[in-house]
């Protein structure tokens, strides 16, 4: 996976365009040219690369009216599991742009873990599309129709894991609003959100707001907002 960093050297006009590339245990900062195989100046226009969930979250904030969003966690579950963190109205990315990478979380008993291969026990591998296919024998698609009993079984299974993740998030960040999106929650429907809220209420005594995204096109909106903020708004505010 990768993140894009556009750094400005202090006191001069030189720009350093680099990519944060990481796997399970290795984090490396490489030049954009080395990563992409061509210069970032090739397109003759500014290039912005952002984490997909962060981009959708930016769009969600814009559509909700950014001033109304102070602290929020946006979770997406599909082929992978990731999240975006909003603290005091701003997306938090972290030192190595790893903030919100909850798919790498390990929820197992540490006595049973191989510390040289923790990624094998990552929670993402238990509830993503591939895991659902292996455990329940179905390949989730929007048009897929399955028996209600099977859908409920999948709903309970996924909701329990996400409830624990939300429980941990609340105790670390003390946030009270979560947006849950992705092809799996979308497929499971409204009942999934009801189950998730039920399990969260069993774990937490504080009021937690859990909702689906406000718009399915929030990612496109977020990308547009990101470009606008980093070009036109930066020019206006100079």
Q: What pLDDT does residue 119 have?
A: 81
Yes or no: say if 81 and 186 are a contact pair by the CB < 8 Å rule: no
- Would you say the C-alpha torsion 128, 133, 139, 144 has a positive or negative sign? negative
Q: What pLDDT does residue 160 have?
A: 97
Nearest to 86 by CA among 65, 61, 110: 61
Quote the tokens at residue 26: 């290795």
183, pLDDT greater than 80: yes
11, pLDDT greater than 70: no
195, pLDDT greater than 90: yes
Q: What is the pTM of this model?
A: 0.84
The per-residue pLDDT for range 205-235, each reduced to its tens digit, is: 888 999 999 988 999 999 999 888 888 766 6
Query: CA-CA distance, 195 to 220, in Å (whole number)?
Result: 29
Yes or no: say if 212 and 193 are a contact pair by the CB < 8 Å rule: yes
- Kindly list the distances between the CA atom of residue 71 and the CA atoms of 52, 74, 87, in Å, as whole numbers in the listed order: 19, 10, 5
Quote the tokens at residue 88: 């005091």
Pairing outcome for strands 177-181 and 209-211: parallel
Q: What pLDDT does residue 238 have?
A: 59
**Chain mean pLDDT for the chain:** 85
Q: What pLDDT does residue 131 have?
A: 97
136, pLDDT greater than 50: yes
Q: What pLDDT does residue 123 have?
A: 95
Q: Which of the 8 DSSP states describes residue 170? A: H
Percent of the chain's residues with pLDDT above 70? 84
Quote the tokens at residue 234: 């930066």
Helix/strand/coil percent split, the chain, to 5: 45, 20, 35
Yes or no: say if 167 and 200 are a contact pair by the CB < 8 Å rule: yes
pLDDT band at 86 (very low <50, low <70, confident <90, very high): very high
pLDDT band at 189 (very low <50, low <70, confident <90, very high): very high
């Amino acid at each position: 996976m990768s993140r894009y960093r556009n750094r400005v050297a202090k006191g001069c006009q030189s720009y350093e365009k680099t990519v944060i590339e990481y796997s399970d245990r290795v984090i490396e900062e490489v030049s954009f040219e080395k990563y992409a195989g061509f210069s970032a100046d090739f397109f003759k226009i500014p290039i912005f690369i952002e984490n997909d969930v962060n981009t959708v979250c930016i769009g969600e904030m814009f559509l909700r009216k950014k001033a109304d969003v102070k602290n929020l966690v946006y979770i997406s579950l599909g082929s992978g599991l990731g999240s975006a963190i909003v603290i005091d109205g701003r997306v938090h990315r972290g030192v190595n742009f790893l903030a919100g990478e909850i798919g790498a979380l390990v929820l197992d008993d540490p006595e049973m873990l191989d510390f040289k291969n923790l990624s094998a026990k990552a929670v993402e591998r238990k509830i993503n599309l591939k895991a659902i296919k292996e455990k329940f024998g179905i390949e989730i698609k929007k048009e897929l129709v399955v028996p209600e009993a099977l859908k409920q079984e999948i709903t309970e299974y996924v909701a329990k894991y996400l409830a624990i993740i939300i429980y941990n998030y609340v105790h670390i960040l003390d946030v009270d609003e979560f947006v849950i999106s992705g092809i799996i929650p979308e497929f499971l429907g409204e009942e999934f959100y009801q189950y998730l809220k039920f399990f969260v209420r069993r774990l937490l005594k504080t009021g937690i707001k859990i909702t689906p995204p406000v718009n399915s096109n929030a990612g496109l909106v977020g990308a547009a907002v990101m470009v606008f903020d980093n070009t036109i708004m930066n020019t206006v505010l100079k």
